[in-house]
Amino acid sequence: MTEAEAGRLFLLDLGVPEGAILVEDEALTTRGNAVFVAELLEQQSIEGLLLVTSALHMRRSVAAFRAVGLDPVPVATDFEVSSGDLGLRDFLPSAAALAGSTRAVHEWVGYWVYWWRGWV
């Protein structure tokens, strides 16, 4: 199942009417998603959109959508915060810390690649 289909099913479970959901399921990248969404919105004569993605991914997503002429309203999800109470264990290597670092580096490198290719 694609992320687009999973999102459609989730929206249906929340009570959003089927006719109010447009699905873009061709993109393999954030850039591709922006391009296909721009085409879809133009075909449907829709002028505005909410861009829902993780807080970590939002900067690159908004930039990619703006680069194709869209002006999305960002709606960030899954913020990652710290309680502020740090202990010794917070400074030791862990699988969770490695995963978080990996996601952060992926976004930094992704943004740089998009900038270099002229996509943002």
Give the model confidence (pLDDT) of 7-62 as tens digits.
899 999 999 999 999 899 999 999 999 999 999 999 999 999 999 898 889 999 99
| Strand, coil or helix: 27 | coil
Checking if the pLDDT of 119 tops 80, the result is yes
The predicted model gives 105-120 an average pLDDT of 92
The predicted pLDDT at position 98 comes to 82
Domain boundaries, the chain: 3-80+88-116
Pair 66, 94: CB distance under 8 Å: no
Give the whole-angstrom CA distance, residue 18 versus residue 47.
20
Six token digits for residue 5: 């289909």
Task: Please give the mean pLDDT across all residues of the chain.
Answer: 89
Entry pTM: 0.73
Give the whole-angstrom CA distance, residue 48 versus residue 29.
21
**Within the chain, what is the greatest distance between any pair of CA atoms?**
55
List the Cα angle 81/2/19 in 5-degree steps: 95
Residue 20 DSSP class: G
Which is it for the CA torsion 82, 88, 89, 92, positive or negative? positive
The predicted pLDDT at position 69 comes to 96
